[in-house]
A and B are shown apart, each in its own frame.
Chain A
Amino acid sequence: MYRVLFSRASRFVALMALLLVSTLPHFAHAQDKPYFVTYSQDLEEPGNLEIESKTALAQPNGGNRYGAYAAEFEYGAKAWWTTELYLDGQTTANESTIPTGFRWENRFRILMQEHLINPVLYVEFENISGADKTMLEVVGHDGQSDLASTNAEAREEHEHEGELKLILSSNVHDWNISENFIAEKNLGHDPWEFGYAVAASRPLATMYRDCTFCVQKLTAGVEAYGGLGDVWALTMRDTSHYIAPVVGWDLPGRSRLTFSPGFGLTDTSLDRVYRVGFAVEIPGFGRQLQEGIR
């Protein structure tokens, strides 16, 4: 009964979404990369605000199914500086729905010219609880056992963390290739933890065409990410690693839908994690805000 209801509801939602998509006005949307974990050199256009929801669905061994959500507000402060606020939460089956904290991140283009490899510096402060399951990065010895704890236990653990990433990214022959080196520090007591994320993607067709259901609007690629231990044991032993095909669909109305099934590669990793993202961009948000204040 539950399955029948779910399947009818999902078909209705899909139909409504298709109708909505086909009636929205057409605008070119920045062909942002469809990555969930890896960052490329792309920054938000100055003055624009992008609002994105990122959902991760998974079930750890010995734990309940969960859906973790991150609402992302990304603002282009300058052409070389993007600032972002994340609000995180999660729902675990048979347990509860809880907010899990916030993150504030900033990305800075280090070099003002375009090069073969473009470095971007990423600085983030996180104030989240141990119940956060968004997996926006995997570092240290993060594993599925962390995700199997009950919400009641995990939310008692408070994490104030600083995170640095060196993003190296190249746009070559319409391909984007990005590598991220991650260093994260719990500001309380834990040692520095390390991780990586690498990705490549390409639009399926490169000429712009005013259409919705066409290959011109699709970008496909793959990303891989995982932990690299910590200062005490810089190793790949007992660490999680994932490989995840990614696909992005640029929709009318300056919106974008992204999907990625991720597959765990080690015993420590989740078997599978499904990610869905939906983003809407508001151009000239900063200017509109300034005019509104005046």
Chain B
Amino acid sequence: MKRRISVALGCLSLVFALAAGGARASHWQNVPEKDHARANPMAGNPRAVAGGAAIYKGHCSHCHGADAMGNGKKAPSLKTESIRSATDGDLEWFLRQGDLRHGMPSWSSLPQAQRWQLVAYLRSIQQ
């Protein structure tokens, strides 16, 4: 009986782990098509990048680190393939939504122009 319970619990954990892994992998799949296709109106603008750097320093660096490499715990690195593969629209959407369950606040309170500045900065640090 005990063995059956442990097998059942093991299967259940595996299902949860797979579901969690799947959710992470499909991070950008939740982005509505309209947002996914949006282009950053400030892409490549050096002033926007400088502004984005200041916003990053003020709001993001104490979790994600000054070098954007994350803190090894909840706040992930922002120099990853996942970020590089996302469109500008995906990133702006995610900043607006946040991920409240996992500790990432929603930045809908920032003006949209500043979210685009932040996206421009995130792009600039990927090289």
Residues of A within 8 A of B (CB): 26-33, 40-43, 45-47, 76, 78-80, 109, 112-114, 171, 173-174, 176, 203, 206-210, 254, 283-284, 287
Given contacts A28-B58, A283-B62, contact A79 B96 (CB under 8 A): no
> What is the bound-complex CA distance between A32 and B105, given in angstroms?
14
B105 near A171: Cβ-Cβ < 8 Å: no
Chain B residues in the interface with A (C-beta under 8 A): 48, 50-52, 54-55, 57-59, 62-63, 96-106, 108-114, 117
Residue of A nearest to B48 (CB): A207
Q: Are A206 and B105 in contact (CB under 8 A)?
A: no
Separation of A79 and B97 alpha carbons in the complex (Å): 12
Find out whether the CB atom of B54 lies under 8 angstroms from the CB atom of A208: yes
Q: Are B111 and A174 neighbours in the complex by a CB distance under 8 Å?
A: yes
A43 touching B105, Cβ below 8 Å: yes
User: Which residue of B59, B97, B100 contacts A80 across the interface (Cβ within 8 Å)?
Assistant: B100
Q: Decide if A207 touches B108 in the complex (CB within 8 Å).
A: no
B58→A45 contact, CB < 8 A:
no
Count of chain A to chain B residue pairs whose CB atoms are closer than 8 Å in the complex: 88
Task: Knowing A28-B59, A45-B59, A114-B108, say if A207 contacts B113 (CB, 8 Å).
Answer: yes
Q: What are the residues of chain A within 8 A of B100 when measuring CB–CB?
A: 78-80, 109, 112
Query: Chain B interface secondary structure, helix, strand, loop or mixed?
Result: helix
Given contacts A32-B109, A43-B105, A171-B108, contact A208 B117 (CB under 8 A): yes
Closest 9 CB pairs of A and B: A28-B58, A206-B111, A208-B51, A206-B113, A79-B100, A80-B100, A284-B62, A171-B108, A27-B58
| Contact for A210 among B54, B110, B113, CB less than 8 A | B54
B102 partner residues in chain A, CB cutoff 8 A = 79
Cα distance A73–B104 in the bound complex, in angstroms: 21
Closest residue of A by beta carbon distance from B110: A31
**Is A209's CB under 8 angstroms from B51's CB?**
yes
The one of A112, A208, A287 that contacts B114, using a Cβ cutoff of 8 Å: A208
Closest B residue to A111 by CB, please name it. B100
Determine the residue in chain B with the shortest Cβ distance to A32: B109
Name the A residues within 8 Å of B98 (CB-CB).
79, 114
Q: Which of A171, A206, A254 contacts B58 (CB 8 A)?
A: A254
A284 contact set on B, CB distance < 8 A: 62
Q: Which residues of B contact A42 (CB under 8 A)?
A: 109
- CB-based contact A114/B96 at 8 Å: yes
Bound: A206/B111 CA distance, A: 6
The smallest C-beta distance from B72 to any residue of chain A, in angstroms, reads 13
Interface centre among B100, B101, B103, B110 (most CB of A within 10 A): B100
CA distance A209 to B52 in the complex (A): 9
Q: List 15 A-B contacts (CB under 8 A).
A: A28-B57, A30-B110, A31-B111, A41-B106, A42-B109, A43-B105, A76-B105, A79-B99, A80-B100, A112-B101, A113-B97, A114-B98, A174-B113, A207-B113, A208-B55
